[in-house]
Amino acid sequence: SGSPGMKMESVLKRELNTTRLKALGFAGGGCISQGQSYETDSGRVFVKVNHKNQAKTMFDGEMASLEAILKTNTVKVPRPMKVISLSDGGSMFIMEHLDIRGLSKYMAKLGEILGDLHLHNAKHKERQQREAQTVGKGPGQSEIQYVDKFGFHTVTCCGYIPQNNDWQNDWVNFFAQQRLQFQMNLIEKEYGDREARELWSKLQLNIPAMFHGIEITPALLHGDLWGGNIGQVEDGPVIFDPAAFYGHSEYELGISGIFGGFNSAFYTAYHNKFPKAPGFEKRVKLYQLFHYLNHWNHFGTGYRGSSISIMKALVK
């Protein structure tokens, strides 16, 4: 039956309809999946492999995320090709190979086009309103579809934990229930942490006030934009490994502030497109809380301290 590697290569040859399949030198291993680039009859591809049972859900969500971001024609992402189920219950995800380097000279450009990504849906809204005022264009005739709710049409995973993206009209409710409460339930189940539970019951009551007077138009988000998921190619910045959904644009800046990798040129360019609304700093802390809880659930209690201290700061 041959080695797992050989087996995978024959599946790849079949799925890519190629006789030539040559692994290129550099493989990239993320925290979660292994990646490898190959030379094929029709050019280079990048293949991610994961042998966990939930891999297909994870890769389907990533593929849908990349497709959604591609459609906006704003920030560059790898073009997804297909997700393939493996006989062991795992899955692989084939996408365009990009020669991605560390982000250096395109930091401000990334801030600017990330702003464009976040404004894309709002522009649809304006265009739809204009078209509605133009005689002869019925509401269903526009190719432009404004998304007026928060969520996504499929499950996406932040890490390997699936996110509940069921559509909601209200962002505060969506974020409190389908992001924070969801993570808190996992922590409760795994650790039964009393301090976390008590802080959360207080914090819940404080959340609506943080959004007082803030108008939120759903924005298409990358959803997991930390320094490890950004880079550059010859002609500009590129982002990858998304966990997309329609949410509050500020959410995107939660994780970027935790692990670094973004400089002031990035933030300046971004806020030129998206000026900070009152209460921004406090809400970004709330968005960081999600990522600390998610890391606690992925990697264990090393992230408990940060989660607890953010909750304490927010209930003051």
- Rg (alpha carbons) of the chain, rounded to whole number: 21
Burial of 283 (0-12, 13-18, 19+ CB in 10 A): buried
Burial of 142 (0-12, 13-18, 19+ CB in 10 A): middle
Residues in the chain: 316
Residues forming a β-bridge with 219: 247
Characterise 151 by phi-psi region: left (phi > 0), alpha (psi -120 to 50), beta (else): left
Characterise 260 by phi-psi region: left (phi > 0), alpha (psi -120 to 50), beta (else): left
Q: Which of 99, 148, 224, 241 is catalytic?
A: 224
| 116 belongs to the catalytic site | no
Residue corresponding to tokens 């890490």: 159
Cβ neighbours for 52, distance < 8 A, ≥ 6 positions apart = 58, 89, 90, 160
Rounded CA-CA distance 316/311 in Å is 9
CB 165 within 8 A of CB 155: yes
Characterise 2 by phi-psi region: left (phi > 0), alpha (psi -120 to 50), beta (else): left
Characterise 43 by phi-psi region: left (phi > 0), alpha (psi -120 to 50), beta (else): left
Rounded CA-CA distance 20/24 in Å is 12
* Residues with catalytic roles: 224
